Amino acid sequence: MIRSVIVGCGSYLPERVMTNADMAEIVDTSDEWIVARSGIRQRHIAAEGQTTGDLAEAAARDALKHAGLEPADIDLIIVATATPDNTFPATATSVQARLGIRDGAAFDIQAVCSGFIYGLATADNFLKAGQFKRALVIGAETFSRILDWEDRTTCVLFGDGAGAVVVEAQEGAGTSDDRGILTTHLHADGRHHDLLYVDGGPSSTKTVGHLRMSGKEVFRHAVVNLASVINEALEATGLAADDIDWVIPHQANKRILDGTARKLKLAPEKVVVTVDRHGNTSAASVPLAMAEAIRDGRIKRGDMLLLEAMGGGFTWGSALVRW
């Protein structure tokens, strides 16, 4: 059978770092509160004029380099983002043009913080169906542009960044020993719109709007939904929590990462954590964390990776990947 094998991973973070102390100069907050409630110590913020497309392109080039491939080798580009450069066309088409790719398909996916998992699952299904051979799946965000910088309950939590993977169709045996994406699981429950949303949009207010969140409610749903979708992935493959080498979660809050790991009896040292330095970068957080753990040598060839995320909608999902 065809397996979608991740053959490269890359990332990009804007140069400017904003610390919790910097935050305390803008809103009534403190380093102690932000660290205790979220585990965040700093986040990266895009420069004036630097767009999601710029971040996505940089991460894509890094992933292609890591894979040892050229832009022309790619025939599908998926950008997961809730902060596109324009309402249309898709940021993915802009990335395609910047990379000098003239053929294949390119589109954006909007599943907010679960966007990268949704994008990876979409690419996996296209590759397994034989429609494309090599995909770039990019999670890229400039959440700093949709934050209400007077709302201390949200603006301290998010950051900008991008991560990308190159996924290639290869022959596999069809067992869990194969390299590549072994299983993906996606969910949505649109009844929870009002708990995490942006209060604007082209068709409603004709504005971009600002992020609004009922943090406590989202937190409660996150731990339950993530545990359930992780169990689903394990059941689908017949694997146990002990078989997982690295958990690469969406980085929303250190307490959510700890709570989910505890619930599933996953060793905390197997969880890749970047939320302390990146904040919540929405669709970018999973590939950003993955790129970091590959680059520093923690993730080794053959390791079993568990990817998971939950975000606005609500949407949530998981993927099991043998590196």
- Catalytically annotated residues: 113, 250, 280
Largest CA distance in the chain: 57
Contact between 110 and ligand UT7 by CB under 6 A: the answer reads no
Under rule CB under 6 A, which residues in 157-186 are in contact with ligand UT7?
Answer: 157
Cα three-residue angle 261-296-144, rounded to 5 degrees? 70
The count of residues in the chain is 323
Under rule CB under 6 A, which residues in 287-316 are in contact with ligand UT7?
Answer: 311
192-197 long-range contacts, CB within 8 A, separation 24+:
192/217, 192/221, 192/313, 192/314, 193/312, 193/313, 195/221, 195/314, 196/112, 196/311, 196/312, 196/313, 196/314, 197/312
Contact between 104 and ligand UT7 by CB under 6 A: the answer reads no
Contact between 284 and ligand UT7 by CB under 6 A: the answer reads no
Under rule CB under 6 A, which residues in 46-85 are in contact with ligand UT7?
Answer: none
Contact between 19 and ligand UT7 by CB under 6 A: the answer reads no
Whichever of 104 and 215 has its CB closer to ligand UT7, that residue is: 215
Whichever of 284 and 305 has its CB closer to ligand UT7, that residue is: 284
Whichever of 29 and 170 has its CB closer to ligand UT7, that residue is: 29
CA dist 305 and 246 (Å) reads 5
* Site track for ligand UT7 across 211-240, x = CB under 6 A: ----xx-xx--x------------------
Identity of residue 128: K
What backbone torsions phi and psi does residue 170 show, to the nearest 5 degrees? -135, 160
Q: Which of 55, 60, 78, 113 binds ligand UT7 (CB under 6 A)?
A: 113
Contact between 256 and ligand UT7 by CB under 6 A: the answer reads yes
Q: Is the dihedral of CA 105, 56, 279, 24 positive or negative?
A: negative
Please provide the DSSP assignment of 86-143 as one string. Answer: SSSS-HHHHHHHHHT--SSEEEEE--GGGHHHHHHHHHHHHHHTTS-SEEEEEEEEEG
Give the nearest distance from C-beta 248 to ligand UT7 in angstroms. 15
Q: Which of 280, 281, 315, 318 binds ligand UT7 (CB under 6 A)?
A: 280
122, 123, 129, 131: CA torsion to nearest 10: 120
CA dist 310 and 240 (Å) reads 22
Contact between 33 and ligand UT7 by CB under 6 A: the answer reads yes
Under rule CB under 6 A, which residues in 125-154 are in contact with ligand UT7?
Answer: 152-153
Which of the ranges 29-37, 55-63, 199-207, 226-234 carries the binding residues for ligand UT7, by CB under 6 A? Answer: 29-37
Whichever of 134 and 250 has its CB closer to ligand UT7, that residue is: 250
Number of residues that bind ligand UT7 (CB under 6 A): 19
Please give the DSSP secondary-structure letter assigned to residue 195.
G
Give the nearest distance from C-beta 268 to ligand UT7 in angstroms. 18
Whichever of 161 and 311 has its CB closer to ligand UT7, that residue is: 311
CA dist 85 and 108 (Å) reads 11
Contact in structure between 2 and 169 (CB atoms under 8 Å):
yes
Residues that bind ligand UT7 (CB under 6 A): 29, 33, 37-38, 113, 152-153, 156-157, 215-216, 218-219, 222, 252-253, 256, 280, 311
